[in-house]
Amino acid sequence: MILRDYQQEIFDDAWSQSSNDLVQLDTGAGKTPIEAALFAKAECALLIAHRNVLMVQCSTMVARFGVSHDTISSEFTRRRCMAAHRPTGRNHIQRGHPDKLVASIDSLVSHHRRSRLTLDRFRPWLILIDEAHHVVHDNKWGQLCEIFPNARFVGFTATPGRMDGASLSVRNGGLFDRLVQCAWLRDNSIKKLIAAGRLCGYSLYTPPSGLNRIISRSEVEIADSPVNAYQCYMSGQQAIVMCPAIKNAREIAGQFRDAGISAASISSDMAATDVWRAIDEFSSGRINVLCNVDMVGEGFDVPGVVGLIIARVTQSFIMYRQWIGRILRPAPGKIQAIIVDLVGAISLHGEPDENVVWDIDEPPKTPKTLRQAPCLACGRWYPIRHSICPDCGAENALHSVEVVGSHYVNMLRLDTGLIEQVRRDVRKAERDAHLRRELDLPTGTVPGTGLIRQMVTRVRLSFANALIDGGVPIYDINIFFRDSETLRNLNFWTKNFSQVHANKMPTALAMRVYKQCQK
């Protein structure tokens, strides 16, 4: 397989280092091919997942790279891997392989505890961890450091943060030294991937403001029947339903079947064979709706799924992003994903393509850009989930009402065009606030080349710091450096300053030059 440009960039970065790295790449952008490529190149490698379905997917990708390997798993899961290799033309499972293994974390830890781990634990293993946001020192993942004391760890996740808020950084008790991202996808990654065709677009349907009362109650209530939502917005398409409890999942699956819609439920209390049977039937299209409880939130790969029905409340931004990732994968004939939010998750956690700044030292939180929206009539900002402005009573133009037609509350379709306008306003306000707080000198306007350009860069910074000492507001300095054409001219710097000013510039000199420019 050939990696895409951004995948190759991440591969090169991770391979060239010896640190414990955490790779962030959005769901559907292709983390598993990078894992498989590193697995193939390493002298001895372990690729570890926490669920059998993910382990089979990892083994299948490794097989596509033509790499023979064994598994540390149950015999049932090993045979599932062998069956999944058939499209590659041969079975890539080699029992007893000493160097390359795809493992279930539970089986690996169990084998070690019972002294059944036959591989050499003290080799310099490259350990690749799928869905690595689970890793902290005091859980089963943390035991890997003790089992393999000379290993290097590279984790992969779409959401480098934990639901409990714990840090993944080694500086705060985690495992990883640094976060690895490709430069192109550091900002607005989902938007860029959709524009590039790597992910598909989407439509959103969400409940109105009255749902706040429903969510605040102790019992589980939702804005509409999942069956009604399915029939209204995605009838005949494949859909996943996120359910709050095992009992609910079974009941909802039964309601779909009573309505003549093929459906199944999967949960952790089911036998592995029954879970796989339901997943196989869903993947092959024999079942249209799959209801689940924490079974398909991470790594579940069925690109043909069109609909996501959120019938479970979660306060976890990480879990919400994982859910959304299930249906944004493109597939032949798939025009867009359809997300029906029955519990107010979108108003709490933001749109699927909301920009997120990931940082393993500061665990990410729900973005706030969509929690407030301006009234187009009076300008008052108020929570986006409200249907009318609390000041003037004007309707919230970010919503256009579409009636479901049941005893449940009406659903609202979010107008993404108007939301994008709000986002631009929010980004501008955030940018202005940033310019008032910190120096932000544009790098693309430095004149000269080579050593001369390096010297001018240092003098510019010294000039800016001297202006701060002279009492010029940081915002004015940033605008001055951004908009002044004079500062783009090399003659300006060579005429007014010398090399000695690169380290420390007299405030009086800086203020005199600044005032001359202002004139």
The identity of residue 170, as a single letter, is V
CA distance linking residue 366 with residue 51, whole number of Å: 26
pLDDT in tens, 461-471: 999 999 999 99
pLDDT at 478 over 50: yes
* DSSP one-letter string for 302-358: -TT--EEEE-S----HHHHHHHHHTT----TT---EEEEESSSHHHHH--TT-----
pLDDT at 219 over 60: no
Model confidence band, residue 82 (pLDDT cutoffs 50, 70, 90): very high
The domain limits of the chain are 5-186, 190-426, 443-518
pLDDT at 211 over 50: no
Can you tell me the mean pLDDT for 17-22?
94
Indicate the Cα dihedral angle 37, 42, 46, 49, nearest 10°.
Answer: -20
Mean pLDDT of the residues in the chain: 84
360 in Cβ contact with 160 (< 8 Å): yes
Model confidence band, residue 220 (pLDDT cutoffs 50, 70, 90): very low
Model confidence band, residue 417 (pLDDT cutoffs 50, 70, 90): low
Please state which of the ranges 129-138, 163-172, 506-515 shows the lowest mean pLDDT. Answer: 163-172
pLDDT computed for residue 400 by the predictor: 41
Between residues 424 and 280, the one the model is more confident about: 280
339 in Cβ contact with 203 (< 8 Å): yes
Model confidence band, residue 418 (pLDDT cutoffs 50, 70, 90): low
* Structural element, H or E, at residue 433: helix 416-437
CA distance linking residue 126 with residue 252, whole number of Å: 43
pLDDT at 420 over 70: no
* DSSP one-letter string for 360-371: SSS------TTT
Instruction: Return the DSSP state at 117.
Output: -
Q: Is the CATH code 3.40.50.300 the one for domain 190-426? A: yes
Between residues 93 and 485, the one the model is more confident about: 93
pLDDT computed for residue 387 by the predictor: 66
CA distance linking residue 132 with residue 130, whole number of Å: 5
Model confidence band, residue 356 (pLDDT cutoffs 50, 70, 90): confident
From residue 288, how far is each of 207, 244, 263 by CA, in Å? 24, 20, 6
CA distance linking residue 105 with residue 72, whole number of Å: 9
Cβ burial of 416 (10 Å; 0-12, 13-18, 19+) is middle
pLDDT computed for residue 269 by the predictor: 87
pLDDT at 393 over 50: yes
* CATH class of the domain defined by 5-186: alpha beta
pLDDT at 130 over 60: yes
Looking at the DSSP bridge assignments, the partners of residue 372 are: 383
pLDDT computed for residue 259 by the predictor: 95
Q: Cβ–Cβ contacts within 10 Å for residue 407, how many?
A: 8
pLDDT computed for residue 210 by the predictor: 35
CA distance linking residue 387 with residue 261, whole number of Å: 33
**Per-residue tokens: 42:** 């390493």
From residue 512, how far is each of 441, 446, 517 by CA, in Å? 20, 21, 9
**Cα end-to-end span (Å), the chain:** 61
pLDDT computed for residue 409 by the predictor: 46
Model confidence band, residue 48 (pLDDT cutoffs 50, 70, 90): very high
Instruction: Return the DSSP state at 34.
Output: H
β-pairing verdict for 263-266 and 239-242? unpaired
pLDDT at 366 over 60: no
**Per-residue tokens: 279:** 């997943």
pLDDT at 433 over 50: yes
CA distance linking residue 447 with residue 457, whole number of Å: 9
Can you tell me the mean pLDDT for 146-159?
94
pLDDT at 250 over 80: yes
pLDDT at 401 over 50: no
Looking at the DSSP bridge assignments, the partners of residue 45 are: 100, 126
Looking at the DSSP bridge assignments, the partners of residue 401 are: 412
Can you tell me the mean pLDDT for 134-150?
88
Between residues 429 and 516, the one the model is more confident about: 516
pLDDT in tens, 258-295: 999 999 999 888 888 899 899 999 989 999 999 998 88
Same fold, 5-186 and 190-426: yes
The identity of residue 469, as a single letter, is D
